A = this chain, B = another copy of it.
Amino acid sequence: MAGPTNTQFAVAIHVLTLLGGSEATPVSSDVMTESVAANPVYLRRVLGRLREAGLVGSRPGPRGGWQLQRPPSEITLGDAWRAVQDGAPIFGLHAVQPGCPVGASITETLGGIDRQLTASVEAQLDGITVASVMPDLSTFSAEELVLPGAKS
């Protein structure tokens, strides 16, 4: 039922993978738009969070764009998760009748479970590097990767 809106995490992994395939030269958000189905502004917002986390760097102007700050083998999905999630809980707590002892106890219990599960998720994601989720680049040319639509 809870239609999750975690597009940002998926987009983050997508762009990190793209940048990992083009470590030499910067990639502009406009170019990434053609691979990720999202508009440049949204991409830049996600990339901004990744930059705050020190995962990517940006440079304006001609021949500018985005680059990884570390090799893909040293960036984990947990890094991307934390950069995007930014402390938002997996579960949501609910408002209870103040003064109800059961409600207060439930809230406290759920908070603990939330912290435990969050830690577990992050630990598992920390075991996966961006390099390990990158497709085998040797089978594609650089142009294929950057311009999947084969535009003019």
Contact = CB atoms under 8 A, between A and B. Distances in A.
A49 to B, nearest CB: 9
A131 interface: no
B21 A102 contact: yes
A68 B8 CA distance: 40
A18 interface: yes
B91 A9 contact: yes
A37 B95 contact: yes
Interface of A: 1-11, 13-14, 17-18, 21, 34-38, 77, 84-86, 88-97, 99-103, 105-106, 109-110, 113, 116-117, 120-121, 124-125, 128, 133-135, 140, 144-145, 148-149
